Structure 1
Amino acid sequence: MANQVTLNKQTESEKLQEFLDRIDRGDKIEADDWMPDDYRQQLIKLIAMHGMSEIMGALPEKEWVPKAPTLRRKLAIMAKVQDEMGHGQLLLRVAEDLLAPLGKTREDLIDDLFTGKLKFHNVFHMAAPTWADAGVIGWLVDGAAIITQTMSLDTSYAPYSRALHRICAEEKFHAQHGESIVLTLAEGTAMQRQMLQEAVNRWWPALLMFFGPPENGQISSNQELNIRYKIRSQTNEELRQEFFNKYVPRIFHLGLTLPDETIHYNKEEGQWYYQQPDWNEFKQIVQGNGPRSAQRLQLRKISYEEAQWVRDALLANQRNAV
């Protein structure tokens, strides 16, 4: 019996090494390939959170569909909301394949969202009280998302990579949509510029938190594992620095300011220095205690319950077809 246990351990160890060798060669892992349990769990956590964040992220902008200032803007933001919902459904489908061997389904993910086990991104717990917020979400929040998602385009998990290629292509249009709103307001009246500045001030702490806490010289075990498995290729702080490189000069070019007098770029070090946000507040937000957490979850729950008849009808059609 002892020899059999040793053989099984060796076999698992050999499988893991073969798996790591595949990843190091640049091979892609498909849903039906063997994978380590922690690889599967890391993917489920990442992709489920990403998918739910796409769905929850449509809600702040959904509020502005009936209030958009022109018909063209209304059609544009309506299309953006539709795209975000589609991204969420696409990603949950990817997550479903990973959940199936564990005996779990998409319904379990929905339940986890409603019970607080599954988190969604900190930025989508925030309020969007003005039209300028819709612009900042499209320009800066989606811009931050593109940076994160672009990092994972070459992820080792093939289904996620394929989904991201489609999502990133559409997110670029979303960022252009947001930039168009921002530029119009920046070139508008004094009141419009003030509204835009207030929106930037309001969103800046959430944008700093977007990529997660800095490593302070030591990356977390989750980041380290994801980098080893080539699920991701950059740390939180590397992503944040990339965001600063791209967007801080553009914000200043528009004559806008940031609510941080300390922010500056050190050319010799190639590093941005900035005032850290309140990371305790970040923890509270992602745990469901943000400014709009309860309202957004309740809206999603109502929408889910009201659409139950659609899911029932589809399942009935599937059973009849069989």
Structure 2
Amino acid sequence: MNEKVSSQQITDDGQYQRFIERIQAGEKIEADDWMPEEYRKTLIKLISMHGISEIMGALPEKEWVPKAPTLRRKLGIMAKVQDEMGHGQLLLRVAEDLMKPYGKNRENIMEDLFSGDLKFHNVFHMEAPTWGDAGLIGWLVDGAAIISQTNMLDASYGPYARALKRICAEEVFHAQHGESIIMALAEGTPEQRAMIQDSINRWWDALLMFFGPSDASTTGTSKQDITIKYGIRTKTNEELRQDFFTKYIPRMLSLGLKLPDDTMYFDTDQQKWIYQQPDWSQFKEIIKNNGPKSKDRLRLRKISYETNEWVRDALSKEIS
């Protein structure tokens, strides 16, 4: 018995070493390739969360489709919502392939969402009460997403990397859409400029939290270390947050906007932005679905899923 266990261990170790060598050589891992359980489970969690976040992220903007100020703006935000839903469907298909060895599929992903086992991004638990919020989501939230996702364009898992190329290309248009709204408001009345500032003030902590905590001591996890180890991404949470600051803080200031953090500055010696940390205990509450709009958005998603069950049934019968 001991010899058999030892032989299996040698085989697994050999496969793992070859797997790591492939990643280090820049090769892409495909759905049917051998992969360690840690890698597969990390990808399932990451891609499922990303896909669900694309779908849940369309909900705050969907609220503004009937309320957008002009027909042109209605068409723009409607197209953006449609794109986000498409991104979600694409990513959930990628996740499904990884889940096949466990006998699971997209239905299980949705069940995990409704049970609270699968999280969606902290920013999409927030309220969007003004047109300024609609612009800010496109300008800064999608801008943060581009920074995060382009960091994974060369991810070791081929299907995810290929999906991200299409998604990032469309996200650039989304960011331009948001920036267009912000610029129009910034050039408008004092009330419209105040609307932008109010949105930034309310969203500031959520934007800081977008990239996750700097280290495992904040939440007790080390997901960033695992994703970097396996070549899924290359930068840490804090490096991505610093990239966001470098790109967007000058743009905010050029519009005459004030940073919600009075202590924030760029340290030329350390070559990084110094800022006040958000309340990470609040972050943990939000991702437990205790955010301002968590329950409402989950309820809306569940109603939609149950109402359209007949479509899924019809399609599955057609395919079979």
Give the TM bin, normalised by the shorter chain: over 0.9
Residue by residue, what CA displacement relative to the aligned partner does 1:42-100 show, whole Å, maximum 9, x if unpaired? Answer: 00010000000000000000000000000000000000000000000000000000001
Retained in 1: the 8 A contact 2:266–2:274? yes
For 2:107, give the aligned amino acid.
Answer: E
Equivalences for residues 47-126 of structure 1 within 5 A: 47-126=47-126
What is the alpha-carbon distance in structure 1 between the residues aligned to residue 256 and residue 148 of structure 2?
A: 27
What is the alpha-carbon distance in structure 1 between the residues aligned to residue 154 and residue 30 of structure 2?
A: 13
For 1:148, give the aligned amino acid.
Answer: S
2:316 is equivalent to residue 277 of structure 1: no
What is the alpha-carbon distance in structure 2 between the residues aligned to residue 217 and residue 42 of structure 1?
A: 19
**Secondary structure of the equivalent of 1:272?**
strand
2:158 is equivalent to residue 158 of structure 1: yes
Retained in 1: the 8 A contact 2:216–2:222? no
**Secondary structure of the equivalent of 2:27?**
coil
In structure 2, runs of 5+ residues without a counterpart are none
TM-superposed deviation, 1:124: 0.1
**Secondary structure of the equivalent of 1:10?**
helix
What is the alpha-carbon distance in structure 2 between the residues aligned to residue 11 and residue 170 of structure 1?
A: 43
Retained in 1: the 8 A contact 2:132–2:182? yes
Residue by residue, what CA displacement relative to the aligned partner does 1:15-42 show, whole Å, maximum 9, x if unpaired? Answer: 0000000000000000000000000000
**What does residue 34 of structure 1 align with?**
34
Equivalences for residues 234-249 of structure 1 within 5 A: 234-249=235-250
TM-superposed deviation, 1:215: 2.3
2:287 is equivalent to residue 286 of structure 1: yes
For 2:53, give the aligned amino acid.
Answer: S
TM-superposed deviation, 1:220: 5.2
Aligned positions, number? 319
**Secondary structure of the equivalent of 2:127?**
coil
For 1:189, give the aligned amino acid.
Answer: T
**What does residue 11 of structure 2 align with?**
11
- Normalising by structure 1, report the TM-score: 0.97
For 2:164, give the aligned amino acid.
Answer: L
TM-superposed deviation, 1:221: 3.1
In structure 1, runs of 5+ residues without a counterpart are none
Residue by residue, what CA displacement relative to the aligned partner does 1:135-182 show, whole Å, maximum 9, x if unpaired? Answer: 000000000000000000000000000000000000000000000000
Equivalences for residues 296-307 of structure 1 within 5 A: 296-307=297-308
Identity among equivalent positions (%) equals 66
**Secondary structure of the equivalent of 1:213?**
coil
For 1:56, give the aligned amino acid.
Answer: M
**What does residue 260 of structure 1 align with?**
261
For 1:64, give the aligned amino acid.
Answer: W
Deviates more, 1:236-245 or 1:225-234: 225-234
For 2:296, give the aligned amino acid.
Answer: Q
- Normalising by structure 2, report the TM-score: 0.98
What is the alpha-carbon distance in structure 1 between the residues aligned to residue 170 and residue 226 of structure 2?
A: 29
Deviates more, 1:78-87 or 1:226-235: 226-235
What is the alpha-carbon distance in structure 1 between the residues aligned to residue 221 and residue 282 of structure 2?
A: 19
For 2:281, give the aligned amino acid.
Answer: N
TM-superposed deviation, 1:258: 1.5
**What does residue 141 of structure 1 align with?**
141
**Secondary structure of the equivalent of 2:266?**
strand
**What does residue 24 of structure 1 align with?**
24
Over the aligned positions, Cα root-mean-square deviation in angstroms equals 1.3
